[in-house]
Amino acid sequence: MTANKIVTREESDAARGELLKREKELTRLGDELAGRRQELPWLPVPKEYTLQTEDGPRTLAELFDGRSQLSVYHFMFGPDYVAGCPTNSSIADAFDPLVPHLKSRDVTMICVSRAPLDKLLVYRKRMGWSLNWASSYGSEFSFDFGGSASKEATAAWLEPMADQMPPIARRNAIACGVDLVTYVSEGFAFVTFARQSDAVYLTYATGGRGVEFLMSYYPILDRVPKGRDEGAVFQTWLRRHDEYERT
């Protein structure tokens, strides 16, 4: 642990007060950005995608479940995976308990993956989640909105730079029981849609570090003395919640 300066209560309060000013600036900026997200123009979704759920086939419009807003987390679990991505699993851990609260605010939130539905439901049971999980197997939905790509297209850009991929990619590929190309060909993203009558619109999308707002453990780690403590091995500490060694 870093050897931080040891001070008096007065000095601690003064230092905290200076930091609080910046934290308030960040909070106000966050409020401003939230408003700008809500003002984004809407893009009509012309295709009528059909996904598989435990209640049977559902169109994208039907996945709203009677609400006017739909949030989709594109979870990395491809058809050839033997288990879901550990990092994506940690994200689902974080938002699964929040689903009832979102429903109360006219928001349906689900996961979508390309693996067949039976694989998804078995893994959901293992993880103890109650979230709705839809399979886009046989659909273009994950390619159009989730960042998924064919293995051929992925190999074309990945193979020349495979040695530059971060360690987390190889570790997660092994944890999912697939090679690196198969693992990386699946995308992760957070996407929101709105429905008005029979029309569906894309309203927001983000990927990469843009999904960190779903990783609620990071804001907590950012406030403890060691911080994220990841160094050069970004996220390689993450495991499925039933795979951590007892500490």
Residue ranges of the domains in the chain? 1-39, 44-221
The residue to which tokens 């709705």 are assigned: 132
pLDDT tens, 133-176? 999 999 999 999 999 999 999 999 999 998 899 999 999 999 99
The whole-number pLDDT of residue 233 equals 87
pLDDT at 1 over 80: no
pLDDT at 247 over 70: no
pLDDT at 126 over 90: yes
Q: What angle do CA 13, 19, 24 make, to 5 degrees?
A: 120
The whole-number pLDDT of residue 57 equals 98
Mean predicted confidence (pLDDT) in 182-202: 96
Domain 44-221 has CATH 1.10.520.10: no
The whole-number pLDDT of residue 77 equals 98
- Residue ranges of E strands in 29-106: 43-44, 50-53, 56-59, 69-74
The whole-number pLDDT of residue 98 equals 97
Q: What percent of the chain has pLDDT over 70?
A: 99
Question: Closest Cα partner for 132 from 112, 158, 114, 150?
Answer: 112
Distance (Å, rounded) from C-alpha 153 to C-alpha 143? 12
pTM of the model: 0.94
Q: Are 76 and 154 in contact (CB under 8 A)?
A: no
pLDDT tens, 203-232? 999 999 999 999 999 999 999 999 999 988
The whole-number pLDDT of residue 3 equals 81
pLDDT at 101 over 70: yes
Distance (Å, rounded) from C-alpha 111 to C-alpha 131? 7
Report residue 54 as tokens. 């435990």
